[in-house]
């Protein structure tokens, strides 16, 4: 049982709350039972260490057993150690250090995606995490994130994905313009979601493979990106609200897509 909250190991885990440290070490923290369970289930080989607080072992017996069966290093720790490792005020007894995933756009395109979402300079951790969760729920093939966006491996984003981070590829650090060009060249329709769009969501053509392109919370999509899109679509506002927040707009768009069967583009063997 690890009992020293000031040990080098504990400091090293805690340091992963900093983006620079995550980037240098290629590791990040998954805090809490839901995220840990999905990490163990879908990415066990990337789970480097699992820390289990005294009181949590019985409560989360199944996850711990799965982790041990998958060869994960499981460490018993006392509550003070877990609290020192965790960024949250109320740690929930399980915390994992996980190797940062590094899927590429090429990986995603090779699987002939039919539904994607691209976050361009999205800054709010809750929005980014919620979009990943919504994309997963709506059956999207991947989430693409441009450079200049929030780090999806930051504790707050990881928490808001509720484990979905391990369910679908999340490609990060992308150059926005080049990525849109690559998607277009691959036959993927680009739909900007924008409150000022000329096409209402119910009228948008969602029958081809497509990507929803979401801009920054405050300033939206810059013209250079909007111009690259095939259509600019707005979620209809029926009441007096000015807009939906980014995560809600993305989820409504993705669920509209989920309800429409998609054709395969000429020359690409999409999953339809």
Name the residue nearer to its own copies (CB basis): 134 or 215. Answer: 134
3-state class of 193 per DSSP? Answer: strand
228 binds its own copies (CB under 8 A): no
Q: How far apart are CA 36 and CA 24, in angstroms?
A: 22
242 binds its own copies (CB under 8 A): yes
Largest CA distance in the chain: 61
Among 45, 90, 259, 267, binds its own copies (CB under 8 A): 259
Among 244, 260, 264, 268, binds its own copies (CB under 8 A): 244
* DSSP secondary structure of 64-101: HHHHHHTT-EEEEE-HHHHHHH-SSSS--SEEEEEEPP
251 binds its own copies (CB under 8 A): yes
Residues 183-202 that bind its own copies (CB under 8 A): 202
Q: What angle do CA 148, 150, 155 make, to 5 degrees?
A: 155
Name the residue nearer to its own copies (CB basis): 100 or 243. Answer: 243
Among 29, 138, 188, 211, binds its own copies (CB under 8 A): 138
**Segment lying near its own copies (by CB under 8 A), choices 17-25, 60-68, 212-220, 238-246:** 238-246
Burial letters 84-105, b for 16+ CB under 10 A, else e: bbbbeeebbbbbbbbebbeeeb
135 binds its own copies (CB under 8 A): yes
Q: DSSP H helical segments within 77-206, as ranges?
A: 79-85, 105-110, 125-137, 155-161, 176-185
Find the shortest distance in angstroms from Cβ 59 to its own copies: 15
140 binds its own copies (CB under 8 A): yes
**Segment lying near its own copies (by CB under 8 A), choices 2-10, 93-101, 137-145, 213-221:** 137-145
Find the shortest distance in angstroms from Cβ 223 to its own copies: 24
Task: Name which of 215, 256, 35 is nearest 121 in CA terms.
Answer: 215
3-state class of 136 per DSSP? Answer: helix
Name the residue nearer to its own copies (CB basis): 236 or 269. Answer: 236
Print the binding letters for residues 18-57 with its own copies: x by CB under 8 A, - otherwise.
----------------x-------x---------------
Q: How far apart are CA 169 and CA 151, in angstroms?
A: 15
CB 36 within 8 A of CB 96: yes
Report CA Rg, the chain: 20
Interface with its own copies by CB under 8 A: which residues? 34, 42, 126, 130, 133-140, 162-164, 167-168, 202, 235-245, 247-248, 251-252, 255, 258-259
């Amino acid at each position: 049982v690890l009992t020293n909250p000031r040990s080098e190991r504990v400091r090293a885990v805690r340091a992963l709350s900093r983006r620079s440290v995550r980037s240098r070490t290629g590791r990040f923290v998954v805090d809490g039972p839901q995220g840990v369970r999905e990490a163990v289930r879908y990415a066990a080989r990337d789970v480097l260490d699992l820390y289990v607080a005294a009181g949590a072992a019985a409560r989360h017996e199944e996850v711990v057993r799965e982790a041990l069966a998958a060869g994960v290093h499981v460490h018993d720790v006392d509550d003070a150690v877990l609290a020192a490792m965790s960024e949250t005020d109320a740690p929930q007894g399980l915390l994992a250090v996980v190797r940062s995933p590094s899927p590429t756009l090429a990986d995603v395109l090779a699987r002939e995606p039919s539904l994607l979402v691209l976050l361009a300079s999205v800054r709010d951790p809750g929005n980014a995490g919620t979009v990943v969760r919504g994309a997963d729920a709506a059956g999207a093939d991947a989430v693409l994130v441009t450079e200049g966006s929030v780090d999806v491996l930051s504790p707050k984003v990881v928490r808001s994905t509720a484990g979905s981070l391990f369910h679908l590829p999340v490609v990060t650090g992308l150059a926005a313009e080049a990525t849109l060009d690559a998607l277009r060249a691959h036959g993927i329709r680009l739909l900007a979601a924008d409150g000022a769009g000329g096409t209402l969501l119910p009228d948008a053509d969602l029958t081809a493979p497509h990507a929803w392109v979401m801009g920054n919370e405050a300033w939206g999509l810059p013209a250079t990106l909007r111009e690259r899109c095939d259509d600019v679509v707005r979620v209809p506002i029926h009441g007096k609200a000015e807009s939906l927040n980014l995560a809600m707009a993305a989820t409504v768009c993705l669920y509209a897509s989920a309800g429409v069967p998609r054709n395969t583009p000429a020359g690409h063997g999409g999953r339809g």
